[in-house]
Structure formats: C-alpha cells, structure tokens
Amino acid sequence: MSGVRVLVGTRKGAFILSSDGARRKWRIDGPHFGGWEIYHLKGSPADPHRLYASQCSGWFGQMIQRSSDGGRTWEAVGNDFRYDGIKGTHQWYDGTAHPWEFKRVWHLEPSLTDPDTVYAGAEDAALFRSGDAGLTWTELSGLRGHGSGPRWQPGAGGMCLHTILLDPANAGRIFIAISAAGAFRSDDAGKTWKAINRGLRSEHIPDPEAEVGHCVHRIAMHRSRPSVLFMQKHWDIMRSDDAGDTWREVSGNLPSDFGFPIEVHAHEPETIYVVPIKSDSEHYPPDGRLRVYRSRQGGNEWEALSKGLPQRDCFVNVLRDAMAVDSLDSCGVYFGTTGGQVYASADSGDSWAPIVRDLPAVLSVEVQTLP
C-alpha cells in the first residue's frame, strides 16, 4: 500500500511524520538535529530515499544534511556557500547600500531527475547549485548579476530566496522568488535571468509597478502545466498564464489577500489553496478562525475550508514553505503553524485533522508520496 512521508522543519529540529495511504494513523519521528533551526527539508523526486535538510543556528551558522535512507540517518555535507566574484551591495532597510552576506539557506530544491543535483535558495538572496549531492556548492551568479541586484532589499524576514520551481517540461527553465525583489525566470538553466513582475502592484514601495522590489511570498505551479503560475504576494493573490511574463490579480472574495503559502492540488491544476492572514503586521487568521481557502477556478472565487480547524481564539501563522500536497488519488493537503500544529486533509481540504499539535514553531512542510 502506498504511503506518505511528511517532512517538517521547525525552529528546534526536524520531524518526519509517516502514514500509510489512509492517512489516519501517524508515526512521529524526531527531533532530528534538536535545537537547530531547520528552515527546510525536501526529498528528491528521483529517489525518495534521498533527502536534504537546511540546518542552521545563530551561533554556529549553516549546515546541510543529507540522508540516503529516507531520514533514518543523516550526514553533514557541504556548507561552503561563497558568492561568486565581487559580492557587491543591495539595499538595506533604510535604502543605503549594504554588502551581500551569506546568512542561511531557506529552501532546498532537489532536481527532478538527478538525486545528486540540488539547488539552494539563500539569504542574502542568491541561488546555489550542487551537482555532487550537497558536498560542494556553486553560485548561479547570473541572478545577482541581473543588474537589478543593487535595488533589491530585504523583507521583514530578511532578503531571502525562498522559492525555486523547476519546470518539468523544460530542463532549462527555473523560476525563483525573493523577498523583497520579486520573481525571476531563467530559460538557460540559471545562467541568465529575467525579472517577471509585470502586473504586480505593491503600494508599499515608491513605484508600485516597479520592475523589482515586490515582496513575493510564494509561487506555485502544477507540474502538468508549468507555464501557469500562482503567487501569494505580500498582499494579493496573482496568476500568470504565460510563465510569469504578465500577472493578474485573482484575490477575488478572500477575507484577506495577505498570506504566505500557496499550493496547487495534485490532480486539478485549477484548484489552489491559500491561508489568509489578517495583515502584514497582524500575522494571524482573521477573526481568530483558522481557515484554508480553496479556489477550484484558479482564483477569484474562493471557499473557506474550516472543518476540523480551530474556529475561535486561533492566532497562529502559516509560513511560506509550510504547505504541501501529496499525490495520492484523493489528494492530501498539509500545513504547519507557528503554534506547532501540523494539519492534514486526506480529501482535498474538505476536512482536516491535526497529525501532531505541539511541535516547535513550524517553518516548512514538504510531502513525499511513497510507492
């Protein structure tokens, strides 16, 4: 019988939650790397036993961990993330020039086809690639060399490259997103990049329609239709039907269009999920009611999904990398909260139940669907 493995990164370690295809009984394994921040861990689509984890600490810096047995054992691999060439500067919060400094890896994206190739999205914003299973890393410096780099600036959480999407239909195409620079696309495997922010409008920056400077929180795609992208921006839910060349708003009837994660149903490319948050300073659900919103029309028309979720006195947040779907026949949807709960739905979001309630604050959730 098939099963799922939910990979959870938290402020104080990693947890692996496992179940069979029924997704009713769960085994909780962890913490791995107790006491360390695990910004993200993810499995290789080409080898489900191969996992990568970003482990970091304000004291001891960045580690990358690799597992070749589905997370039972781990091995520290390379942590030498050096910016290529002259590092240059980006904008600091006050608009002054600030030198690029490596701080941590926010997101790891294993190759779709090769378990030993993995991409890392870093703060300060840069994209790195390893072709030897994480032992060594090389910056794809064409991104920072795009020319707009000196105008990028950090969001409240830092200037992080948090989203990496690999196009399953075009091996050379990569999408990334940076807070607060915006979205970028490469069509030559990361050598050169194009800012893809036309149509975004951000009232909190001097030129609301600037080429860069938008605080993109997350981008998602369905692998069967990689030129259609969905974006949760600082405010606004956006959609592109031309691989990011242009965007249009699809926030529709949401109670708030501020939020962090956005995800696409495994089998329905027009079904998308967001978790509305009250505002950019009040990072909790409107009215203290935790609700996932689902659109089956690719945006604009949204329905609240609340069955099984707390509907009073709930003031947690769901961070940008903390939502994922499985690809079982009845699509499972998962998300983790800053309150340490990991919720799962085995019926595309119609109903929810906590897998676990009392983990450290959840930073990331990924799901592997196992044969």
- Residue 137 CB, nearest distance to other proteins (Å)? 11
Task: Tell the smallest beta-carbon distance from residue 96 to other proteins (Å).
Answer: 21
- Where in 182-211 is the site for other proteins (CB under 8 A)? none
The number of residues making up the chain comes to 371
59 near other proteins, judged by CB under 8 A: yes
What count of other Cβ atoms lies within 10 Å of the Cβ of residue 326? Answer: 25
58: contact with other proteins by CB under 8 A: yes
Residue of 24, 27, 61, 282 interacting with other proteins (CB under 8 A): 61
End-to-end distance of the chain based on CA atoms, in angstroms?
Answer: 7
The token pair that represents 197 in the structure block:
């922010």
Residue 35 engages other proteins in binding (rule: CB under 8 A): yes
Helix H or strand E encompassing 107? strand 104-110
Residue 60 in the binding site for other proteins (CB under 8 A): yes
**Site for other proteins contains 135 (CB under 8 A):** no
- Asked if residue 63 binds other proteins (CB under 8 A), the reply is yes
Asked if residue 322 lies in contact with residue 260, where contact means CB atoms within 8 angstroms, the answer is yes
User: Interacting stretch for other proteins, rule CB under 8 A, among 6-14, 59-67, 125-133, 195-203?
Assistant: 59-67
- Please state, in angstroms and rounded to a whole number, the distance separating the CA atoms of residues 346 and 352: 8
Q: Classify residue 169 as exposed, middle or buried by CB count within 10 Å of its CB (0-12, 13-18, 19+).
A: exposed
Identify whether the C-beta of residue 346 lies closer than 8 Å to the C-beta of residue 325: no
Q: Which is nearer to other proteins, 12 or 267 (CB)?
A: 12
Give 26 or 102: the residue with its C-beta nearer to other proteins: 102
| Cis amide bond preceding 180, omega within 30 | yes
- Residue closest to 179 by CA, chosen among 219, 136, 206, 224: 219
* Least distance between other proteins and beta carbon 63 (Å): 7
Hey, what amino acid is at 371? P
Q: x-or-dash pattern for other proteins, window 218-237, by CB under 8 A?
A: --------------------
The distance of closest approach from Cβ of residue 163 to other proteins in the complex, given in angstroms and rounded to an integer, is 25
Q: Closest distance between other proteins and the C-beta of residue 181, in Å?
A: 23
What CA–CA distance (Å, rounded) separates 150 from 296? 39
- Residue 57 makes contact with other proteins by CB under 8 A: yes
- Closest approach, Cβ 8 to other proteins, in A, equals 20
In 3D space, the residue among 235, 144, 130, 132 whose CA is nearest the CA of residue 184 turns out to be: 144
Number of helical H runs and strand E runs in the chain: 0, 30
140 phi and psi angles, rounded to 5 deg: -90, 85
Instruction: Choose one: 54-62, 210-218, 238-246, 293-301; the region binding other proteins (CB under 8 A).
Output: 54-62
Given the complex with other proteins, which of 76 and 97 has the nearer CB atom? 76
Min. distance of Cβ 238 from other proteins in angstroms? 37
Q: Which CB sits closer to other proteins, 32 or 217?
A: 32
74 versus 352: smaller Cβ distance to other proteins: 74
Report whether the peptide linkage leading into residue 150 is cis, meaning its omega lies within 30 degrees of zero. no
Site for other proteins in 94-113 (CB under 8 A): 102
Per the CB < 8 A criterion, the answer to whether 306 and 334 are in contact is no
Binding string, 66-85, against other proteins, x = CB under 8 A? Answer: ----------x--xxxx---
67: helix, coil or strand? Answer: strand
**Under the rule (CB under 8 A), what is the footprint of other proteins?**
35-36, 57-63, 76, 79-82, 102
